[in-house]
Structure 1
Amino acid sequence: MSNRPPNIVLVDDDIALRTALTFTLELDGFVVTALGSGEDLLNCTLPDAPACLVLDQNMGGLTGLDSLAQLRSRAIDLPALLITSHPRQSVRDAAAALGAVIVEKPLLGDALLSEIDAALKRQAAIRKPVPETPLPS
């Protein structure tokens, strides 16, 4: 991973939860961009890797999955976590199809941080340059 701290783009329409999560994530060394809607997400400049999206599913306007689907259609492949309570199977299926991991509310213990760390590690492994192998002489 890079020497710079990872970026988290947090999208949640609940200002209290967004503020609390921002505080917690910043204490853990992340740089946080906190947004209040899926529309805000689609209109912002996203950070380069290392970065992870944390999206609330149930927001007014675009849902977390709607927002993520639009990002994926723009070839934006940042890892994504979807936070939601009691997701239906259709939400689970749609999240899996978009490559998002679901973290269920209430966010207990280190569940969110553990999933962010895992997502960033997967991103680093995918983006790691492959060493060149010299051709035989």
Structure 2
Amino acid sequence: MADALCGMPRPTPSARSLVIIVDDDAAVREALTFTLELEGFDVEGLGSGEALLLCDLPEVGTCLVVDERLPGMSGFEALRRLRLREVRLPALLMTSHPDFHLRTAARLAGLPILEKPLLGDVLSDAIRAALHS
């Protein structure tokens, strides 16, 4: 039986980078998945920060794209907890209208913020930059 990432069969190894999208809106996850797959990424979608924390995350070749406003635990909190567990995968925080406190906390944590709506190549460009930094 295949090793599992977040309860799903692990994708076959490839040269393509994996993007894990965490957003509670299934339509948003599907739209982002479709767009990123066209850009050449493998994509896994999750609906909560708690689901992300339960994943067996790869150590390399993966970028996390996490919505800030999630039910239960916020995206920022989920990423903070991963960092406490020494998970150092590149991550991007998505949100609409980030306030001063979130901008400051994200900057101090080294988390780039992507403001919604994500237009053009903003997301794929930010993922590529995060993966190569």
**TM-score, structure 1 length as denominator?**
0.84
Amino acid at match of 2:95: T
Question: Number of residues paired by the alignment?
Answer: 120
| Residue matched to 1:25 | 36
| Residue matched to 2:26 | 15
Q: CA deviation at 1:99?
A: 1.5
Amino acid at match of 1:94: A
Amino acid at match of 1:50: G
Given that 1:11 and 1:56 are in contact with CA atoms closer than 8 Å, whether structure 2 keeps it comes out as: yes
* 2:80 matches 1:69: yes
Look at both structures and tell me which one has the larger radius of gyration over its CA atoms: 1
Amino acid at match of 1:67: A
**TM-score, structure 2 length as denominator?**
0.87
Amino acid at match of 1:96: R
| Residue matched to 1:101 | 112
Stretches of structure 1 lacking an aligned partner (at least 5 in a row): 123-137
| Residue matched to 1:131 | none
* 2:65 matches 1:34: no
Q: CA deviation at 1:51?
A: 1.1
* 2:65 matches 1:54: yes
CA–CA distance in structure 1, aligned partners of residues 105 and 77 of structure 2: 10
Q: CA deviation at 1:48?
A: 2.9
CA–CA distance in structure 2, aligned partners of residues 21 and 48 of structure 1: 23
Stretches of structure 2 lacking an aligned partner (at least 5 in a row): 1-13
Q: CA deviation at 1:44?
A: 0.8
**1:107 match: secondary structure:** coil
Given that 1:7 and 1:49 are in contact with CA atoms closer than 8 Å, whether structure 2 keeps it comes out as: no
After TM superposition, what 4+ stretches of structure 1 lie above 2 angstroms from structure 2?
Answer: none
CA–CA distance in structure 1, aligned partners of residues 31 and 65 of structure 2: 14
Given that 1:72 and 1:98 are in contact with CA atoms closer than 8 Å, whether structure 2 keeps it comes out as: no
